[in-house]
Amino acid sequence: MTTAAPLVILGPTASGKSDVAMALAMRHPGAELVAVDAMQVYRKMDIGTAKPSAADREAVPHHCLDLVDPADEFTVADFAPAAGQAVTLIAARKHRAVLVAGTGLYLRSITDPMQIPGRWPEVRAELETRAEAEGTEALHRQLAELDPPAAAKMEPNNTRRVVRAMEVTLGSGRPFSSYGSGLDTYPPTVFQQFGLQWSRPRLAERIADRVHRMIDAGLVAEVEALAGRPISRTARQALGYKEIFDHLDGSCTLEAAVDTIITRTRQFAVRQERWFRRDPRIRWIWIEDDPVATALPELERAWQTSN
């Protein structure tokens, strides 16, 4: 067994990172997989989040899946300690962690532990009401007065980021930008990171195929089972669920919902890639057809040379 540095396999949705990670882990009994995904933490949200199958989870140890119910709020502040503990315990067993990462911020919370501000629900609720009534740009202008460095790093219409920065600034009484050096620095890390890169047209095809497979696998029934139950703000952000909820409410046809899921997932994949592209520590592997056949040799070399 090895206590070598953890490996990270990352990439946008539908890039094949889970298949590559499983193929690598099946070759090495000491490998344990850590899901770095903001939505796979939710129980009963399996198909729409592309959660590993029961067979895969039985064959290889998986961590950071099914941590909370859909009714629970869950953020990077909750994920970081859970994932950090998983990586630590894997190393204590003299096994090796392989992180399968699609959520950039969650990954950074592991590779670059950060000071994560607390939460102020009442402040946030008031800010969300203001954003809806006055527009996010108005909040951004206030943020620019209170914390210019934070405001300069985010788009004025990015409601989620602006509200969060304002929540922390008002709730804590100190600027949001004062919590560490931020995400724009990339110091040396023990984590070896590999990214799977596709051409945009080819990845778009894979995303469409995957969404149709999810529908065939029973995504509508999965969402229907959640209907009428409490579901948190963070869980509602999961791609595919809101659109199917709209269909079940009669707001759109299933065909229209599927088209919207595909469009939004493609847009999300672009944002994922842009996030990861900023990190110069990632070694990119160009994929044209088979991600496992293409990426596995390089990952095997990394596995062997770092032992």
Percent of the chain having pLDDT more than 70?
97
Confidence of residue 2 (pLDDT cuts 50, 70, 90): very low
Q: For residues 98-124, give the mean pLDDT.
A: 90
The gap from C-alpha 180 to its chain's centroid, in whole angstroms, comes to 21
Q: So what's the pLDDT on residue 114?
A: 74
Give residue-wise pLDDT tens across range 49-73: 999 999 999 999 999 999 999 999 9
Q: So what's the pLDDT on residue 201?
A: 97
Q: So what's the pLDDT on residue 82?
A: 97
The alpha carbon dihedral of 68, 111, 292, 90 has a sign of negative
Q: So what's the pLDDT on residue 116?
A: 76
Q: So what's the pLDDT on residue 117?
A: 81
Give residue-wise pLDDT tens across range 226-261: 988 999 988 988 999 999 999 999 999 999 999 999
- Distance CA(35)–CA(14), nearest Å, equals 15
Which helix (H) or strand (E) element contains residue 96?
strand 96-101
Name 7's bridge partners.
Answer: 98, 192
Give residue-wise pLDDT tens across range 137-168: 999 999 999 999 889 988 899 888 899 999 99
Give residue-wise pLDDT tens across range 179-213: 765 667 888 999 999 999 999 999 999 999 999 99
Cβ–Cβ under 8 Å, residues 238 and 102: no
Q: Is the pLDDT of residue 7 over 80?
A: yes
Confidence of residue 306 (pLDDT cuts 50, 70, 90): low
Q: At what angle do helices 219-226 and 241-248 cross, to 10 degrees?
A: 80
Cβ–Cβ under 8 Å, residues 37 and 107: no
What is the value of pTM for the model shown? 0.84
Give residue-wise pLDDT tens across range 23-36: 999 999 999 999 99
Q: Which domains does the chain have, with CATH numbers?
A: 7-114+190-305 (3.40.50.300), 121-178 (1.10.20.140)
DSSP character for 68?
B
